[in-house]
């Protein structure tokens, strides 16, 4: 019958690992990511910015005073690419770059009031979508969601993510 668990192929904890199931997961990931970025994208467009700006604002807000090198590591892009984005944010007065106090080669990055305002608008839109999804799926589903996502990261990124996951602002 329909529920014959196929236990002959490895027990029920392997049952869900069919190519069919994996394909569904892959496509869900693809479509969900589109939703995930849709709301901030609309706001960014109004300001003439792109996702790269959002990412920079997010991580500067998240780790006040972070250095350029730090940001490069987290974002996984080249300094030339980041610099282009950072320069416009600084010119537009959303980000402030201060010479490092201990090490004066470094630049510590901060959001200005205007930067905080835009960051809040972006992250609030994204949080609202996430909140609705969490609410619809329930707490147990959320725990599973995070577990799978963390297991999907590259090892090095996961280490980085886990160390900063539970930081305080």
Partner DNA sequence: TTGGAATGTCAACAAGGCTGACATAAAATG
Partner DNA sequence: CATTTTATGTCAGCCTTGTTGACATTCCAA
Report whether 107 contacts 68 (CB < 8 A): yes
Asked whether 60 and 109 are in contact (CB, 8 A), the reply is yes
Least distance (Å) between residue 104 CB and DNA? 4
**Tokens encoding 31:** 């479509």
Please, what is the minimum distance in Å from the beta carbon of residue 123 to a second copy?
Answer: 7
Element (H, E) at 168: none
Query: What is the end-to-end Cα distance of the chain in Å, rounded?
Result: 54
Comparison of 77 and 121: residue with beta carbon closer to DNA? 77
Is residue 163 within the footprint of a second copy (CB under 8 A)? Answer: no
C-beta closer to a second copy: residue 62 or 106: 62
DSSP structural state of residue 67: E
Per CB under 7 A, the segment of 13-21, 26-34, 84-92, 134-142 that binds DNA is: 84-92
Contacting range for DNA; rule: CB under 7 A; set: 51-59, 112-120, 122-130, 145-153: 51-59
Please say whether the beta carbons of 81 and 136 come within 8 A.
no
**Site for DNA contains 131 (CB under 7 A):** no
Q: Is 1 in the site for a second copy (CB under 8 A)?
A: no
Q: What share of the chain is helix, strand, coil (3-state, %, to 5)?
A: 70, 5, 25
Among 74, 86, 94, 122, binds DNA (CB under 7 A): 86
Q: Which of residues 138-167 bind DNA (CB under 7 A)?
A: none
Tokens of 149: 């996502």
The footprint of DNA (CB under 7 A) covers 48-53, 55, 67-69, 72, 76-87, 97, 99-100, 103-107
């Amino acid at each position: 019958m329909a529920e014959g668990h196929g236990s002959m192929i490895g027990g029920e904890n392997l049952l869900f690992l069919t190519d069919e199931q994996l394909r569904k997961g892959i496509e869900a990931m693809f479509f969900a990511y589109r939703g995930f970025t849709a709301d901030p994208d609309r706001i960014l467009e109004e300001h003439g910015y792109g996702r790269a700006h959002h990412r920079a604002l997010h991580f500067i807000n998240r780790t006040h005073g972070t250095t350029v090198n730090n940001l490069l590591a987290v974002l996984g892009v080249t300094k030339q690419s980041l610099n282009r984005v950072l320069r416009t944010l600084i010119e537009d007065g959303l980000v402030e770059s201060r010479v490092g106090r201990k090490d004066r080669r470094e630049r510590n990055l901060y959001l200005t009031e205007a930067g905080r305002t835009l960051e809040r608008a972006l992250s609030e839109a994204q949080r609202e979508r996430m909140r609705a999804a969490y609410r619809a799926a329930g707490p147990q589903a959320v725990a599973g969601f995070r577990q799978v996502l963390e297991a999907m990261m590259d090892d090095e990124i996961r280490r980085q993510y886990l160390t900063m996951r539970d930081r305080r602002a």
